[in-house]
Amino acid sequence: MREQKGPSLVTPGEVLGRASDVKAGRGAYVAPHNSTVYSSLTGFLRTISPPADSPDQRPIVEVTGHKAQGAVPVPGSVVIGQVTKVMARMASADIMCVGPKSVREKFTGIIWQQDVRATEIEKVDMHLSFHPGDIVRALVLSLGDARAYYLSTAKNELGVVSAESTAGATMVPISWTEMHCPVTGQIEQRKVAKVGS
């Protein structure tokens, strides 16, 4: 395999080409809804010629990390994040893990109001679903833009997995929507992730 051109720096979400023209290699993925190849990490773009005897003659585009590479969120992966900010229509979170692997780069996720739960979407109150500091399990829906991934907590097993009460204690989930502080006995609203089967 020979390299066609020198590397250029790309960031997550950058378009690398059409799936009909190029093949996604390491650090790249094809979005099924528009058959476009995107970068999934920050790094150097390389275009590699396919082997001469390969039936698929599309060049391979790959992105190699410019620093030690940790896990990278991709659409369909389950991530663990810490809520950093809650607003009326969305919450943002720093992604800490993709599946069981921790990330080394900073990735931001956004949970929009319509992606918090599967039912009664119009009744979702973001401030009753998440608080800054909450640890959430969420599904990566898409690379929203170059700055953030769009996340969903609409399945039963997704949502807040760990939260601290105003008293600083780790709260215990008591229902889909409530967590209980063992110190003060106070109940706080959350979009709680179902634990176990």
pLDDT digits 0-9 by tens, 89-110: 999 999 999 988 888 788 999 9
- 159: alpha, beta or left? (left if phi > 0; alpha if psi -120 to 50): left
Q: Which residue has the tokens 């275009």?
A: 47
Q: Which residue has the tokens 């020198």?
A: 6
Q: In whole angstroms, what is the distance from residue 150 CA to residue 162 CA?
A: 21
- Which residues touch 125 (CB under 8 Å, ≥6 apart)? 189
pLDDT digits 0-9 by tens, 33-78: 888 998 887 788 889 898 888 888 999 998 886 555 567 888 899 9
**Across the strands, what pairs with 36?**
18, 31
Q: What is the domain partition of the chain in residue ranges?
A: 3-65, 78-189
Cα(first)–Cα(last) distance of the chain, in Å?
A: 47
Do 3-65 and 78-189 show the same overall fold?
yes
- 113: alpha, beta or left? (left if phi > 0; alpha if psi -120 to 50): alpha
The rounded mean pLDDT for the chain is 87
CATH of domain 78-189: 2.40.50.140
| 169 exposure class (CB count in 10 Å sphere: 0-12, 13-18, 19+) | middle
pLDDT given for residue 115 in this prediction: 97
Q: Which two tokens stand for residue 4?
A: 């066609």
CA distances from 47 to 2, 28, 31, 38, 128 (A): 9, 12, 19, 13, 47
Q: Does domain 3-65 have CATH number 3.40.50.2000?
A: no
pLDDT given for residue 196 in this prediction: 56
pLDDT digits 0-9 by tens, 108-153: 999 999 999 998 888 999 999 999 999 999 999 988 766 789 999 9
